[in-house]
Every structure is written in structure tokens, then in C-alpha cells.
Amino acid sequence: MVRAITDDGSFRVVALRTTETVRAIAAAQRVKGEEARWLGELVTGTILVRETMAPDLRVQGVLQSATSRDALIADSHPDGGARALVQRTRGGSLVLGDGAALQITRTLPRGSAHKGVVQVTGAGGVSASLMAYLQESEQVASAIAVATVMDGDAVVAAGGYLVQLLPELGEGQLAVMTARLEDFPPMATLLRDDATTPESLLAELLYLMPYAVVGSGALRYQCRCDTQRLRATLGTLPPKELESLIAEGKDLEIECDYCHVEYRFPVSELRAILAVD
């Protein structure tokens, strides 16, 4: 990921390549084909929003199915880690495109959350929905392009960019950028070229516009689960629930929905958690 701002204060640009992150997430969630494509675009878009609106805070993006409670969930953290979840209800079907909803929730500095919801249009997909969210919920005018390139069921490449219009923007700069974006190749086309990097995207988007790189960082797939967090969660259960688990006399097995890693808590540890509680 690379973040830059033009010297005249007209534009902020974030460009990123998320191929390895999206591949790892798709593998962890066991999705492929169109679901993997939508999930990859949601992950990439969620990272872009965080880097633009809250680089030091967490942002979550949710694509809610048009016909059920099923959803795709992307989670982006300020350390560059991202994870995602495919949430399915029994008998439900994940229908994206027209009628689906995009929800973005970003953490605010004091711990509260800002949430916005927009409808997804099939033609514009995640890119257009993200632009609508930023305009309607954040009052930020932006141009966004995200894409996941697929080869059958396999993720070939993923990435995107965001161009944010800043208060110092003049009519001349806006006209230049508008013309540039109209002629800019589709994101999927750019990603098919291995030579396309966040740096090269910046250089093309801001051609002949002096700019300074103001941030950069690595992106990666990272689940947030671990034994200590799960143990702490168990410690919040009512004593009666822990006593019931202990009475069953069997180790408690918990599988993380994000990464499918299994954790085992012996009865002896459950007793220790109950004693501390």
C-alpha cells in the first residue's frame, strides 16, 4: 500500500495490491469463483476506506445478500492485517449485485463507531458502492476502482486505487483528473500486468502532478484469534454455562470462523477459568 498527496493539496491517492492477502482469505474461507471475486473486492475496498478515513483505526465492510441474511464480511486493521468471513444461514443463498447492501463501519478515535449503508448496483459493483458510501456517509468525493482477477476458481490478482478530492482542488486540476480517469484502463486490465505496483499506479494517476508519498506499508492476511483471547471470552460466560460445560466431562473444542483453526480447552482449564471468575 502507498498513500500520497499532491503538492498543491488537490488530491489524496491510495494505491494497493492485495493479491496475496485475497488469495489467503479465499483459501481460509474456502470460496472460489464469483464469491471469491466479490470477497476480494470487498477486502480491497475496506482497506482503501481505512487508509483514507481512519489509517490508525479498524474498519469493517459488510456485503449483505439481496435475498437472505447471508453476508460477506471484511475486517481491516491498522497494522496491515486483514481477514474476512463468509456468513451463511441454513438454506440461505448469497445473492450479490442489485439489491444487496454495503455497510461500512469504522472505529472513531474515542472507541465509538461510525456506520453507513448504501445499496449495491450491479453495474458499478463494489467500486461504485464505495464511492456512494464516501459521498453519502462521509461527504467525501472520491473515485474508486477495485478488482479481483479470476482464472476459473483461482485468484490471479487483486488491488485497487482511491483518488480523493481535497478542499484545495481547483477547476483546472479537477478537469485534468476527470479526463485522466475517463481514459484510465480498467483495474482488472492493469492487475493482469505483473509490472503494475502501487507505485506505478500512483505515477500514472498523478502524471505531471508533483506529489509526495505520505505513507506506505505491507498488507497481509491475519486472523486475530488466539488461545488467550478465546480464554478471555470463555471467562465472560455466566458461571452456570461454564458449570454445564464442565459437567459434560469433555474437552471444549472451538473452531475460529475466520481461519478455521481449532482450539481445545480441557475440562481442567474450564475449571480454572470458573475458579478465576
Check whether residue 246 and residue 154 sit in a common domain: no
Check whether residue 265 and residue 201 sit in a common domain: no
Q: What is the mean pLDDT of residues 190-205?
A: 95
Number of domains making up the chain: 2
Give whole-number Cα distances, 47 to 21, 84, 120, 214, in Å.
11, 12, 18, 16
Check whether residue 179 and residue 65 sit in a common domain: yes
- For 32-50, the pLDDT digits (tens) are 999 999 999 999 999 999 9
Q: What is the mean pLDDT of residues 109-138?
A: 89
Specify whether the CB–CB gap between 209 and 179 falls below 8 A: no
Check whether residue 216 and residue 258 sit in a common domain: no
Check whether residue 128 and residue 261 sit in a common domain: no
Q: What is the mean pLDDT of residues 160-169?
A: 93
Residue 207's domain spans which residues? 2-221
* pLDDT-derived band at 29, boundaries 50, 70, 90: very high
The predicted model scores a pTM of 0.91
What is the residue-averaged pLDDT of the chain? Answer: 92
Buried b (16+ CB within 10 A) or exposed e, 131-165: bbbbeebbebebbbbbbbbbeeeebebbbbbbbbb
CATH number for the domain including 13? 3.55.30.10
Residue 212's pLDDT is 97
Residue 15's pLDDT is 98
- For 16-25, the pLDDT digits (tens) are 999 999 999 9
Question: Which of these three, 202, 221, 240, is where a domain ends?
Answer: 221
Residue 92's pLDDT is 64
pLDDT greater than 60 at residue 277: no
Check whether residue 193 and residue 100 sit in a common domain: yes
